[in-house]
Amino acid sequence: MSELLEILHPSYVLRNALYGGILTGLVLPLIGVLMYARRMVFLGVALPQVSATGVAAAIFWHLAFHEGKGPHSDFLIALIGSTVLTTGVLLLLAALERQGRGLVEGRIGAVYVFAGAVTILLLASEHIPEVGVVQLLRGQIIAISDTDILLLLGFYSAVAAILWYCRRDLLLVCVDRDVALSMGKKVWAWDLILYALVGMTVSLGVLTAGPLLTFAFLLLPTMVGLRLARRFHAVPVVAALAGGLIALSGFLLSYSLDWPTGATDALLGCLVLGAVTLTQWVFHLARGHG
């Protein structure tokens, strides 16, 4: 309890890391729910990797062609590179999916391998100082500043507001694309909005929390929400609450045990999902026999 009070105190030295983690935990599941409804879950593994490649490529370009000089911070350059590449790859995959040829999962797997290989090769380049970029790729949540937190808050608030206002049409397009088309909805425009939101949120998530935790927050709270909610409109709320609580509890646990925050959060998310699944299974059995 004293540790909880300590990390929640405004003078706590790592408070921004805590706030950043909670914000990421609250907002990424909102995107995760739509990705799940659109059957894009597998893409959730590949996108953080693509995002990491975007970070490495942008830093490589900045250092190789501009010698690292310029008015912009590494963080901003990494964010732009990551967002552009992630959104571009999403649009390319969506265009190929619409042609309806080949196996979608096969293409996503190939993208994952390609992105992983390119990231490693870029990191091996003599232009990139290893330590700083690896820090960016792991997520620099510990080093997050007051300004970054405000930016993160502003961006995530905008994402949450867009998702709230567009929830009906995004749901319809994700759940039943053909019916949306028959109603005259501009499905391509909604797809574009969805992909842009996914691309930007995943990019910011990777820079803040790293690829592993980004995927964990996209998937695990969403699955908890899908298990607990009795109607679909409640799923994002339950998922966001689960994500926020996992981020807070994970931070507290990692602080107490001196474990890495990202891996602790991800593991805790898995444990929560496992506990919810097991509890429901036990209830189901008890009711069946009762």
Q: Which of 28, 8, 31, 25 is nearest to 250 (CA)?
A: 25
Q: Quick one: which segment of 22-30, 82-90, 146-154, 225-233 binds other proteins (CB under 8 A)?
A: 225-233
* Four-CA torsion 280, 282, 287, 290, nearest 10 degrees: -170
Residue of 4, 14, 76, 226 interacting with other proteins (CB under 8 A) = 226
Written as one string, the DSSP assignment of the chain is -HHHHHHHSTT-TTHHHHHHHHHHHHHHHHHHHHHHHTT-TTHHHHHHHHHHHHHHHHHHHHHHHHTT-SSS-HHHHHHHHHHHHHHHHHHHHHHHHHHT-S-HHHHHHHHHHHHHHHHHHHHHSTTS-HHHHHHHHH--GGG--HHHHHHHHHHHHHHHHHHHHTHHHHHHHHH-HHHHHHTT--HHHHHHHHHHHHHHHHHHHHHHHHHHHHHHHHHHHHHHHHHH-SSGGGHHHHHHHHHHHHHHHHHHHHHHHT--HHHHHHHHHHHHHHHHHHHHHHHHHHHHH-
Residue of 8, 183, 278, 285 interacting with other proteins (CB under 8 A) = 183
Under the criterion CB under 8 A, does residue 192 sit at the interface with other proteins?
Answer: no
Please name the amino acid found at residue 140: Q
Between 231 and 289, CB nearer to other proteins: 231
Q: Report, in Å, the least distance between residue 279 CB and other proteins.
A: 17
Between 168 and 289, CB nearer to other proteins: 168
What character string, x for contact with other proteins (CB under 8 A) and - otherwise, covers 269-288?
--------------------
Q: Report, in Å, the least distance between residue 73 CB and other proteins.
A: 35
Under the criterion CB under 8 A, does residue 134 sit at the interface with other proteins?
Answer: no
Between 84 and 166, CB nearer to other proteins: 166
Residue of 165, 188, 281, 283 interacting with other proteins (CB under 8 A) = 165
Residue 76: Cβ within 10 Å count? 14
Residue of 45, 91, 175, 237 interacting with other proteins (CB under 8 A) = 175
Q: Report, in Å, the least distance between residue 225 CB and other proteins.
A: 9
Q: Report, in Å, the least distance between residue 178 CB and other proteins.
A: 5
Task: Please tell me the total number of residues recorded for the chain in this structure.
Answer: 290
The tokens describing 165, both together, are 């206002």
Q: Report, in Å, the least distance between residue 278 CB and other proteins.
A: 19
Residue of 2, 11, 147, 168 interacting with other proteins (CB under 8 A) = 168
Between 232 and 281, CB nearer to other proteins: 232
Rounded-to-integer distance, Cα 187 and Cα 181, Å:
6
Binding residues among 34-53 for other proteins as defined by CB under 8 A: 36-37, 39
Q: Quick one: which segment of 72-80, 177-185, 246-254, 269-277 binds other proteins (CB under 8 A)?
A: 177-185
Binding residues among 74-103 for other proteins as defined by CB under 8 A: 100
The tokens describing 67, both together, are 């010698």
Between 46 and 235, CB nearer to other proteins: 235
Q: Which residues bind other proteins (CB under 8 A)?
A: 36-37, 39, 100, 165-166, 168-169, 171-172, 175-176, 178-179, 181-185, 226, 229-233, 235
